[in-house]
Structures are given as structure tokens and as C-alpha cells.
Amino acid sequence: MTKKTDLELNKYFQPLTESGFTYEKKGDCIAIRYNKAIAKQPMFKDVMDQIYEVLDHLEMQMTIGLENFPYCAVNNNARDHIITNRSERQGIKAKKCRSCFYFRLCTGFPRGYWRRHGQSEIQPIADAPSEVMIEITPQCNLNCRFCFNASSFARHDRNAQNKLTTAFVKKIIRHIKKEGIKIVRFTGGEPLLRKDIFELLSYAKKRGLEVRLNTNGLLIDKAAAHRLAKIADNILIPIESWNDKEEDRITGGQKCLTKKIQTIKLLAANRIPVVRAGTVAIKNNIKNFDRLAKIVLKLPIREWEFYRPAYSSQNKDILKKADLENLAEKIYQTQKKTDIRITIGNGVPFCAIKDANKMNAVCAGALYDEGRRRLVIDPRGYVKPDYTIDMNIGRPTDILGAWKNPFVKKIRETAGLPEACFHCHFRQKCCGGSRLWAKITSSDWQAPDPLMAKNRLTSAPINKI
């Protein structure tokens, strides 16, 4: 990654030091600290925008840690930057902090802070999933060879009985709202194959939920795009290749890429708030990244995400370390030329490549995998930690009960990671890569991800509970 001189760093960090923060280089990491020594300590809410600006400018070039920041003072998109240094004197917590999702990990507010500013900034973060994903149908109008459904309960029969009736899904939506969960995502299969899909999207929207939709886009015409504009906040469309011939070979469709591009333009024209593209990181797509980018980066999208291939009986294209290294470098260099956010969207071990800081810059980590932030409801009525973990952990009308299941609770607390991960400052974001791939390759949920390289673990302030 690009090395910044002290003079260049000072340009970004000087305004922070004037606002009551200090910073220190710790190897490849820069730790920002709240300065408890100054007479006029600022409130976090008054200065966090300055910190977010620094992150926006520098996080693609270096690892920046917010040392011992209280989690509720940092917005959701930046919490993965918080690092916990237990060697420093710990801050203070209030009784209501006990209900916070991050209670055990957070070090609290700086001592003396509340005497100056009171406790108005304490906002316990709900110990609940941020999102529930509903696999509304196992049916699909395509047959992508790397789809997770190729190894799901419906792999032999896409017409398998679906217990998610209209009435039951509405009941689930009411429960999601009641439990304070903010986001519901409709996925499949192909959600638009359901005749009641617009009714269900509208039902969720009217109850104040953020409505997300994963669709291949082939069934969206002008009328559908117009309807979606009123009821969908975030839509993901897969782009799996750079021309129709290759896209059709992968998906089993006809002129799929042309249709998907038309759909994305329709959605953007109808002002869907967020339109995203997703690409499975198979070897051929990584090899032809530049050809893909030439197509995707011309589209009116907000984000472009790459996904580690799911395990399935028909997918033999398994991600290798060399492929991942190549993909990370391609994303890192391309991101400098576009405002479209490009990321690896799911869990890979950051130590799999030579520069873990670079992986940190281009990867969202495993925060949204395997029950850490989201839960999945499948057509059988199973509540699962993830699309690909075929384990029923609860009932669709008791999401918080499923959330407290011992299996996913252990995963969330990172207690089940390989021992080597405990000394890596990316642990809370990387999460050791994929626990499912560890299980598949070693028959042990606590084993190393097969892409993990122990000799590249990055030591720094440790987020260890």
C-alpha cells in the first residue's frame, strides 16, 4: 500500500489534534485517540464528522484504528475501525450500556467525560440482527452453476413446498418490525417469480422497514421498475460476465447481460435510492476483471461487490490465494479511478494475501456472514445463520430467540476462531474468514479458513474480549 510521509499525514490529522484527538503510528496502523489531557474536551458528536472525513481520504491507503472509542459514538459504517487497547486505563459505562450489543467489547466513555458533557450520547446498540433476509422462493428462472441453491434443500426440486405463504410472510414482517429490526431483504431463488412479491414489498415498506431486493432483474420491465421505485430502497443485480455469450454460459439464460444492463438503467431512471451490482469471484471473472470493469463501471450503480464462491456440488471453481491476491490488487487500483464503491463483500481471511492492510481496504470482512449481523429465513420456515449454513436455529416469528442460539452467539463473539486470530488487529472485521469453509475443509468450525496464512497475521492493539 502507498506509504504516507509524516508531513502528508499531518495535513490530514492536524485538524483532529486541534479538535482534541491524538494519533500514533503502530506498525502499519495509525491509532487515533481521544485526548483526555486537554482542558476543553470535545463531545464525540461534534467532531466525528472530521474523523469520517479522514477515513474517507485515507482508509484505502492505510489502516486507521479508533482506539478505545465508545461504539455508540461511531456510526455503523465506521465501527470496524474501532480497536480495543486493554493496556490503557479503561473508560466508564452506565447501567444501560449492559443492553448494548457491544457491551463486552466496548471500553466505555473516557473517564471524566460525563462530568463535562452528561450522558446524552449513550445510545445502546440493540443486541439484535440489523437485517433479516427472506428467501421468498427456491424457484429461479436461471441455473447459475455457482448458486448456493445448488447445495440447498431445494437442489433436487426447485418446486419444493414453500411454507412462506403471503399471510405468514406478513406475520414475519410484523414481528421484524416489533423487534426493532430495521431492514428486511427479499431474495430467493428469484423473488419476482412470486405473484405476491409487490404486495409483500409494499407491506414491509408501509411498516417503516428499509426494503431490499436481490433479483436477477430479468423480469423487471418499465412498469415493474416504476412500482419498485415506491417500495424498494436497495436493489442488487448480479453481473457475472462481460458479454452475453459468457453470461449465458454461466447462468443458463439468453442474452442475460443485455437484459440486466437495461434493468439497471431502468431502476436508476426511476430513482431507486441504491442500485448495486454483484459478481461472484470465479477464476475467469478475476482473470477478466478489466473487461468486467469496463462494463460495470459505466452503469448507474452505487456499489459493485465481489463474492467468494459458495460451496456447492456443481461449483468446482474454488477461490485460491493467488486469485484473491490478484482480485484485491485489481480492486485497489481500480477504486482510485471511480466513485463507485468496489468491495469484496463477504468473508475471506485478510492474511491470505501479502498485504493484509490492502485487503482491509477492499474487503467488507465477514461482519454480515454466518449470523454476525443478519439472519436468513428459508422457504421451509427455517431460521439460518446464513444462506449456505443449513442449520435451523429458531422460528421466523421469534427472531431474537434465534439470535440467541448458542451456535451463532459463539460465532458473533469470535470465541470460536483459530487461536492465531486472537493476536490480529483485523479480527473483529475479518472474523477469521469463513467458518463454513473451515468446517467444509477440516470438519471443524474452529479450524483455520483454508485461505488463511498464519505467518502473515498482523499484530497491533487487540480486540480481544
In tens, the pLDDT along 216-226 reads 999 999 999 99
Q: Given pLDDT bands bounded at 50, 70 and 90, which one contains residue 7?
A: low
pLDDT > 90? residue 413: no
Q: Are residues 16 and 157 in the same domain?
A: no
Verify that 159 and 302 share a domain, yes or no: yes
- If one counts the domains in the chain, the total is 2
272 is written with which cell numbers? 431507486
pTM over the 0.95 mark: no
The domain of 86 spans 6-117
pLDDT at residue 345 in the model: 96
- With respect to residue 126, please indicate whether it lies within any of the assigned structural domains: no
Is residue 83 pLDDT above 90, yes or no? no
Q: 150 lies in a domain?
A: yes
Cβ distance 16 to 23 under 8 Å?
yes
Give per-residue pLDDT as tens, 238-247. Answer: 999 999 999 9
Residue 438, domain member (yes or no): yes
- Do 303 and 345 share a domain, yes or no? yes
* 270 within 8 A of 226, measured Cβ to Cβ: yes
> Does residue 38 belong to any structural domain of this protein?
yes
> What mean pLDDT is reported for the chain?
90
- The alpha carbon of residue 129 and the mean position of all alpha carbons in its chain are separated, in whole angstroms, by 13
Claim to verify: residue 109 and residue 172 sit in the same structural domain: no
Residue 462's pLDDT is what?
Answer: 35
The pLDDT of residue 285 is above 70: yes
The label of the residue with cell 450500556 reads 97
- For position 3, what pLDDT does the model report? 59
463, part of any domain? no
Weakest mean pLDDT among 16-25, 223-232, 299-308, 371-380: 16-25
Q: Do 68 and 141 fall within a single domain? A: no
Residues 190 and 102 in one domain: no
Mark whether 170 and 268 lie in a shared domain. yes
Beta bridge partners of 383: 377
Asked if residue 125 belongs to a domain, the reply is no
Pair (417, 349) in one structural domain: yes
Question: In the listed set 117, 144, 171, which residue is the last one of a domain according to the structure?
Answer: 117
Task: Name residues whose C-beta falls within 8 Å of residue 339's C-beta, 6 or more positions apart in sequence.
Answer: none
pLDDT of residue 464: 34
Whether 40 is covered by a domain: the verdict is yes
Residue 7: how many CB atoms within 10 A of its CB?
7
Q: Which of 95, 117, 139 is the last residue of a domain?
A: 117
Using the predicted structure, report yes or no on whether residue 159 has a pLDDT greater than 80.
Answer: no
Residues 373, 322: one domain?
yes
Query: For residue 314, what pLDDT band results from cuts at 50, 70 and 90?
Result: low
Confidence of residue 454 (pLDDT cuts 50, 70, 90): low
Looking at the chain, the whole-number percentage of residues with pLDDT higher than 70 is 91
**Residue range 250-267: mean pLDDT, rounded:** 97
Beta 63-67 vs 82-83: how paired, if at all? parallel
Residues 109 and 218 grouped into a single domain: no
210 and 337 together in one domain: yes
The half-sphere exposure of 465 on its side-chain side, counting CA atoms within 13 A, is: 14
- Are residues 444 and 347 part of one domain? yes
Tell me which of 117, 149, 167 is where a domain ends. 117
Matching residue, cell 493476536: 423
Q: Is 396 among the domain residues? A: yes
Calculate mean pLDDT across residues 322-327.
97
| CATH number for 325 | 3.20.20.70
